[in-house]
Structure 1
Amino acid sequence: MRTERNLTRLDRLFARLDREPERPAGLEVPSMSPHRIVLFGSTLVFYLLIVVAVINTSWLVRLDWQLMFFRPYQQWPEVHAFIDYYVVLGQRGPTAVMVAAWLGWRSWRQHTLRPLLMLGTSLLLLNLTVGAAKLSMGRLGPHYATVIGSNEMWRTGDIFPSGHTANAVVTWGILAYLASSARTRRYLSALSAVVSLGVGLSTVYLGTHWLSDVLLGWAAGLLILLALPWFEPLVTRIEARVLAERDRLLRRFRDTSAAPAPAPPLFPQPGPAADDGTPAREPVGAARTSRTTGHFTQRGHLVRAERAPVTPAGSRRPAHADSSTRVSHSTPASPVTGG
């Protein structure tokens, strides 16, 4: 009887770390549903109410001053060191690097650029919206307040809304937004809410932000997360264009790196002789120009005009120049007389 080995929790973990053979077909992309539109509208109204309450120096501003005079960092100094480290979870640099590393692995595993593109889109929206609100309202923080009970608006400050809080909501909330299942999305949503809530209260404890700054930061970050489905079509087009450009560059690189085949010689030379001493045969269709040329060069045929004609009357070639000499040697020499 054949039995299969039961996978342990560690085996299942390593199986999930392996890369998918191809892009999964069932990736769920959030859409702008009516429920999400209602949440977006409610959060926007909450955002505007906080701004109006601070501008009008309402009860919310008085609560800000009461917490500032309470000085939580003096009431509970034993947790000050922990809060100094915990508030880093809301700083844009460290959190963006950690989340980008995780989403980069997700992109590699699922053969898609969507996680990284959505992270870049959310951070771009965060910088534009929160940065514009900070600069336009210019509110001073608790440590730089000038008039007790005032809202400290339009005094060249940059703390309203809280950037730490908004960044924590967006950076950790994008993990829940990109979750591959509804169950994982619920767990990550709860975790990101706890982290962002803790970061916002940490800034109030340290005295770097008013409570109203934190409330507006929560609303600003939530608005960005709720608006992300509107940017999904744009992200899809950008991903398709980037992948098409990557494939084109890869094809060009492969074409240029492949070595061309050598061209055949115009006049192939005969191969080496065989082991038994017989010359190798020439290939069929090989040119015979070189062999023919060599034959005429080494031993040329005589022209017919150069041959001596032989006739019955004898040879027409003139006598050799040495013939007279041979005759003179055969006759006796006459004595030479002188007078």
Structure 2
Amino acid sequence: MTHPPQGALAAAAAAVPGVDLPGLDRVLAIANDKGGVGKTSITANLAALYAAAGYRVLAVDLNRQANLSDDLGYRGTAIDDQGSGLLMALIAGQPLQPVEAPGRPGLHVVPGGVRLHDLTAVMTGRVQTEGAAWQRALARVLAPVASAYDLVLIDTPPENTLLIDLALGAARWLLMPTRTDAGGLVGMQLLAERFTVARRVNAPLGLLGVVLFGTSRTARAIHASVREQVEAAFGLPSSPMLTAMIGHSERIANQSRARGRVAHELESDAASQPAWWESLRRGERVQGRIPPTASNVAEDYRRLAAEVLDRLAAAEVQGATGE
């Protein structure tokens, strides 16, 4: 994966105008109001790729199902607090304490989990007492720690506008995955409405791009139709869709979550496994083998990771120069 130098990105980010809380200029919310569109997979793969490339990365899990802990392989480990730390930071003002993801130097996480079930009720009360200011609650607890990282990625839950609003209130950028089916596009339209509302309390929030997830790479007519709907939903004159897309591979997705290994790690595992005929000769089972298509999915994520960094760098340079 090629990417701009970290120093150049940091210098550009430091000059971005309009960011009202220090350290939040490189916070990305990965969101769509619809489930099953790749939010957690994209969060996990980008976070792991950037950490492997030498970036300091923080992944925040706002989902009570905590699927990020499956994708990154820390569910049930000592760091898996089921969202307790995040909950107490948001409702009691305790300092947020990110923890290192096992086996991935440079990658820290704020785990989600079942304890976040209580957060929705608390946030409902905050809406009544604080008005729109409650939407910056996550921003306020992230600000003291975010500056220690080059990138902060927030994985959001589906169909929970309160928690999505918290993420949008803390983010500088929205990265929105979608499928090409009707459900994914409806979720995109609903999120476009939340995006507009969020900018009233978080003016710097911008749309970094829309990512097609789980799609056929050759379905160009469908891609063009989705591009038109994205432009209409966000009211933009040119398409915010990224050129990189994540191809469909149910088997790789299942193996990734079952093993706690992201795509580029599965690619490495597949390359080191014995040939299938050697496994048969040894009497070993071959059903659990990692298919060679892992390399295709890994390459998709590498392209996405590079394009996200390119867009960040371009946007930050543009903001710094006032163009």
**Which band: TM-score by shorter chain?**
under 0.3
Structure with a larger share of its residues in helix: 1
Structure with a larger share of its residues in strand: 2
User: TM-score normalised to the size of structure 2?
Assistant: 0.24
Higher Rg of the two aligned structures: 1
Which structure is higher in RCO with an 8 Å CA cutoff and minimum separation 6? Answer: 2
User: TM-score normalised to the size of structure 1?
Assistant: 0.23
